[in-house]
Structures are given as structure tokens and as C-alpha cells.
Structure 1
Amino acid sequence: MTFRMPPEWAPHERTWMAWPGPNPTFATPAELDEARRAWAAVARAVRRFEPVTVVTGPGQEEGARALLGPEVETAVRPLDDAWMRDIGPTFVVDPDTRELAAVDWTFNGWGAQGWARWEHDRHIAKGVAGLAGVPVHGSPLVNEGGAIHVDGEGTVLLTETVQLGKERNPGWTREAVEAEIHARLGTGKAIWLPRGLAGDYGTYGTLGHVDIVAAFARPGVVVAHVQPDPSHPDHEITRETVRILRAATDAGGRPLEVVEIPAPTALTDAEGAWADFSYINHYLCNDGVVLCAFDDPRDDEAAAVFRDLFPGRTVTPVDARTIFAGGGGIHCITQQQPRI
């Protein structure tokens, strides 16, 4: 059988999330409480459009349900962290039989980073697949869901510092990585970006995930994060990203149309480090777009662009600053299960 990862805009059966628990990412009780409220806001926003199941650590389900509300389902599994996009399965479909399966990438804490814990998280993909009742396809490639983005027609976006980084896959060649990615996702063309945003290499960074940099909006169309301010290190990084994307063709041979989404005006975060705030960490759910917001003057501008890109969907901005403080965004904490 040949399996293919559907694009995010294809219909979903449900969204999977993971509940924040005590760990180095949320170091104090106040930070943990703030994170839980932020995760709950995203879950409730997605639930307006499709079912949501939140996996919680043992003993945390009652507190989670109090914040999530009665319409969000919960399931209990041991957890280390709360980034379901990365620790959960990548769901794939056989286009002929319509069989659903789950890819279980090898997970090593975003490149075995010193702060990361993955004793339990490395098993969550299998756990979620079991809850969904689908078979698991294991992969030896160290990879995460936030490190890939597909158009559903054979093209995948990747970043060199993730799949080819020594922290994840030492000794793997570009050809070997592409062969494994294509075999698992049913893709045939990889577009490589050299790196992620500057802030993604700091504390709690992923070392270059693509889903904060660029994403397909539909086949042949990519939304790309751009930093207009030349004083910010992402200014040159994103200019290079756009140049590469504009020069690329997809699996069907089409030149890509690139829609540039300017970064929020804030150049630094609450701790004074360079901010990697990005609207390109949105989540497409059934009839909806849950969009990162930052209480920033560009929030409305970004929302307008997404409404133009997805005229049949309701765009719902959700404050993502707390999520970004932990190292990710709305896309990083959600994982879609395709509808069969």
C-alpha cells in the first residue's frame, strides 16, 4: 500500500493536543497555570469547528477538564511536554483503500537538548494511534511534525538544520532523508530551506522547524514569514527563504506563488531576546483558521490576509504569546487526524 499525508486543509476527524504538565518548559506554578490557560484557549477555539481530544498526564485530567470545558475530550497517557505536533503521530492515508495509519517518527527531544525530557513523549505517537485505532508505521528518522509541511500533491517543505542536523540524524545524507520522508508521506519533491528563525536556536528552540517559517496554503501557494525590520536577525533569514521559495517549483512543476506575511512589530520578547513571533504557525481546522495573535498592530493585517487566502473559513485569532514563550505556537500544539 502507498500512504500519503493529506494537506492540513483536507477534512479532519479531530484534533489531538497534549496538556502542559510540570517540566523545565513551564518552570514555576504561575508559568504552568498560564500555559494551561493558553492551551485551553486554543483547544476551545478549535472545538468550534471539530472534535478535540487532549491527552493529559495521570492525575491531571480533572484540572484539565475544568479549563477545557465539557465539549473537549480528554485521554490519559504519561507525558513529558505538551507539543503534540512534534510528539504525536503524523497521520497518513492510503488513497486507494482509504485506510488510515500513523507515522511514528523517532523522537529525541528536538535534538537531545539539555532541557528536554522524552522518556514518555517518545511513546505518545503510538499511544495516540492506539486511541485512534489505527496501525503504526515506525521510522528510524529523527523528525517532528513541525519540521514538515505538505501540499497534498507530492511536495514537502524541510529545513537543513533539522533533518540533516547532527543533533538528530548524524550520518544521514540528503538523499537518504528524502527517501525516508517520501516513503512515509507519499511525497516526491522536497524543497529545502537552509534554516529556521533566529529565535528557534535559543532556549526551548527546535533548531529550525519549518512551520514557523513557511506553509502551504493550497497547492502552488505558500505563505512565508518575513521580518521587515533590517535590525532584526530574521530580516536576512526570511529574505533568503522567500528567494528560495520564489525560485522553486513543486512536484507538479509549478512555480510557487509566495504570499509574504510580515512579522509582528515587536522585535524582542518579554525577556529582551530577539522575538520569533510569527503568524505562520496557524492551524487549519474544518471551516476555520486558528491564527496566532500577539496584541500587535499587525494582528488585524495578518487576519485580513488569511481571510483572503481562505474565504470559506472563519479566522479566529488567539493570543499566542504564552505559547511562544515556551518555544512554539498554535500549530506546534495541535495535530490533525484526517477524516476518512
Structure 2
Amino acid sequence: MNNKFFTFIVTLSSMFCMSQTYHFPEESSPHEGTWLQWSHHYQHGKTYRERVEQTWIDMTKALQGNEKVHIIAYDDAEKKRITGILEKNAVPLKNIDFKIYPTDDVWVRDNGPIFVKDDKGKLLIEDWGFNGWGDKFDSENCDKIPELIGKDLGVKVVNLNEEMVNEGGAVETDGNGVLMACKSSMISQKSGAIRTKGITQQEAEEMFETYYGVSKVIWLDGVTGLDVTDMHIDGFMKFINHNTMITMDEEDLLELGLSDKDISTLYTATNVEGKEYKKIYVPATKNKVKTAYGKQLEDKGSYVNYYVANNVVLVPNYGDPNDKIANDIIQKQYPNRKVIGIDVRNLYENGGMVHCVTQQQPIGL
């Protein structure tokens, strides 16, 4: 074959592939189901499992009435154990589906499948790289989860493992072309926080534009090393729709570690039409969080890390005076869904809340 013609064909093929863009359905769009990675004892021991397990029981009970709950169990023994726990807690099993995959931990928002739709409306899975938040923790098992789910569901998987590491909790989209993220948890090249070695801001934005279907990326600097995630966006802001975000007041954001610059960027952010987002403010907990078993933690808790399901909204609760205030504020934003408080005190000790351990599957298969 003529070399020039061959080069032309390869170039044309590459252009065609890159012309395919994807759309990430917003969380509040109709779900087929929710994915959960159930806690187990194989990585962190039985005490860890037993302390956090009630959160999974409560989430499953709240979700199963209106959508499927896809529970990832470590092995058959764990599946049997979990089934017994659900039955003991009077949780109906009708809408519950089990998958047997080994996992390193519970954070399915970060390592799990990113369900998107192509330009024909077909549902696909994006399998981004996952490296344990910059190689801080084991990740080999969790990194395989999207591929395993795609194979089991018979859904095409777009393999992005060699292109970019991306954790689902590190990005927020407004469903209408805007994505917000922190540089610290996406493109930082500082030791201990590197997701994708050598990636530039422009390269990350091009990936987001193609694979999330956005046209505008808003960056906060974030704080590298502040926590395991290097400051995930879903801890302090969430888009309610393409005109409105929910976040926290300046004092709470400063206490969480945001800089004045980042707060200004957040508060003045605009949508694709150039209109500043309306802001709904929800407080942090009144007190620093104390676990359900009595350990005093060093930080207040965030209510922004909630999860929007078909007919319910699961809001992290802490046994704090501000639980009711936050639940009521969030309830007003979702009048057609019921807010259910989920006790996350013991989970919060390990760095996460409700949104961190849930992953939506949109209707579309």
C-alpha cells in the first residue's frame, strides 16, 4: 500500500474516532439502578466491616423500593452473609442483584463504571484508570470493576485506562455542558497525588470534553495532601441543575481547607450561557463528628455529599443538631423525592460519605 495513502487512512480513522462524543447523564435523571461495593473483612478486618456495614443496610433499604440495587460482594461467602443480614433487617430482596467481584474497598464512586450515552443514545461504560488516589492504597481489584460489570451486562466498555486516571467523586457536572473539578485531585504532579503522570490541564479538558460531553471546565486549585482524595469536589459542592449549585458558606469552606481564591472561583462560577449559578447554602455539622462507637474525630461533616436516586435523596447524617436543618434545605430542592438521612459517622472516619459509596446506572440498556 502507498505510504501516503496509508497515512491518510490512519489519520481519517483517528479523526472519525475522536468525532464520537459522549454525554454523562446527570445524577437526577432516571436510574435503572445503583451500584454498591459492600464492605468486607479481607482488606481492613472484621472490625472495619462491622462498623460501617449499617450504612450499607440503610442505603439498600432506602433504594430498593424504586430502583435496582446492584451489590458487589467479594465472594460467594460474602454474598451469603450479606443476604442473611438483609433478611434479618427486613430488607426485601426483590430488586437486589448480586455480583461477585473481589474489591479492595467500598468507594465505588471513584473506581466504578462511569455510565454514559453516545450520540445515538446508547448506554456505554467508560473505564477510566484508578490508582488508589495516587497510589496511596491498593487498587488492583477495584480498577477491574468497570470492565467486569461491562462484561456481565453485555455493555460496550470504552477503555481509558491508558489515557487518564479519573475518580468519579473528583468531578461534578451540571448536565448542560459544564464540569467542575479540583486540580489537586485530577492533574497535580506532586508526589503522592499523581493520577496521570505528565498530564496537562489542556489534555484533561480535552478528555472531559470528549468523554463527559462538556464544553466548559471550571478548575479550583484544591489542596494536595489535605486528605486521601486530595480534595474531591463532591465534598463541598454539587450541581442541582444547570442553573443552581448547592454548597457551603465561606466560613465552612475555609474550615474545610478551601482558599479564598477557590471560594471566589466557586461563588462566581457561570454556566454555558454565562449566567452565575444560583447558590443554595447548607451548613456543615454544628460539632466535630463523633463516631457511633464514641471516637472523637477532628473535622466537621459535610451534607453536600448526598446521592440523588429515583424517588429518594440519601443525605449523610451525623447525629448532629444540623442534620435536620440540612435535610430540610435539601428536601426543598427535590420536592418530588423523599430525603432520607443515612448515618455515616463510622464511614466518615475513613474519609467518605454517601455519594462516595454509590454509583448510578441510568436507564438505557
- Fold equivalence (TM over 0.5): yes
SS of the residue 2:288 aligns to = coil
Structure 1 residue 264, shift from structure 2 partner: 0.3
Q: Distance in 2 between matches of 1:226 and 1:46?
A: 30
What is aligned with 1:126?
147
Matched, 1:327 2:345: no
Secondary structure at the aligned position of 1:274 is classed as strand
Q: How far apart are the structure 1 equivalents of 2:330 and 2:85? A: 28
Deviations along 1:73-118, one digit per CA (max 9) or x if unpaired, are: 2110121111111111110012x422000111111001101xx111
SS across alignment from 2:230:
coil
1:306 alignment partner AA: I
1:56 to 73, 87, 107: 73
Provide the residue aligned with 1:300 in structure 2.
Answer: 324
CA-atom RMSD in angstroms: 2.1
Output one character per residue of 1:5-50: Cα deviation in whole Å (capped at 9) or x when no partner. 01101111110110112255xx342221122222221122122321
Task: State the SS of the aligned residue for 2:179.
Answer: strand
| C-alpha displacement of 1:3 | 1.4
Counterpart of 1:42? 59
The reply to whether residue 65 of structure 1 matches residue 83 of structure 2 is yes
Q: 2:311 aligns with which of 281, 287, 293?
A: 287
Q: Deviations over 1:191-237 (max 9, x none)?
A: 112216x9x834xx21111111111011111111347469x732x62
Q: CA deviation at 1:173?
A: 1.2
Tell me, yes or no, if the aligned pair for 1:65 and 1:74 is still in contact at 8 Å: no
Decide whether the 8 Å contact of 2:285 with 2:300 is kept in 1: no
Task: Report the counterpart of residue 13 of structure 2 in structure 1.
Answer: none
TM-score normalised by structure 1 residue count: 0.90
Larger radius of gyration: 2
Once the two structures are superposed, the pairs formed by residues 1-340 of structure 1 within 5 Å of their partners are 1-22=20-41, 27-58=44-75, 59-68=77-86, 69=91, 70-71=93-94, 72-94=96-118, 96-113=119-136, 116-139=137-160, 140-166=163-189, 167-195=194-222, 201-202=226-227, 205-226=228-249, 228=251, 233-234=255-256, 237=258, 240-267=261-288, 269=290, 272-340=296-364
Q: Distance in 1 between matches of 2:197 and 2:101?
A: 31
Q: Secondary structure at the match of 1:195?
A: coil
What is the TM-score with the length of structure 2 in the denominator?
0.84
Paired residue total = 329
Residue type of the partner of 2:246?
V
Separation in structure 1 between the aligned mates of residue 245 and residue 252 of structure 2, nearest angstrom: 22
Do the aligned partners of residues 36 and 55 (structure 1) sit closer, same or farther apart at CA in structure 2, a change above 3 Å counting? same
Unaligned runs of 5+ in 2: 1-19
Q: Secondary structure of 1:42's match? A: helix
Q: Is the 8 A contact 1:4 1:92 kept in 2?
A: yes
- 1:142 and 1:169 in contact (8 A); partners too: yes
TM-aligned CA distance change 1:23 to 1:195, over 3 Å = farther
Look up the equivalent residue of 1:52 and give its one-letter code: V
Structure 1 residues without counterparts, runs of 5 or longer: none
Cα pair distance change 1:319/1:241, threshold 3 Å: farther
- Deviations 1:303-334 (CA, angstroms, capped at 9, x unpaired): 11111111111111111112211221110111
SS at match of 1:233: helix
1:195/1:208 contact within 8 Å kept: yes
Give the secondary structure class of the aligned counterpart of 1:31: helix
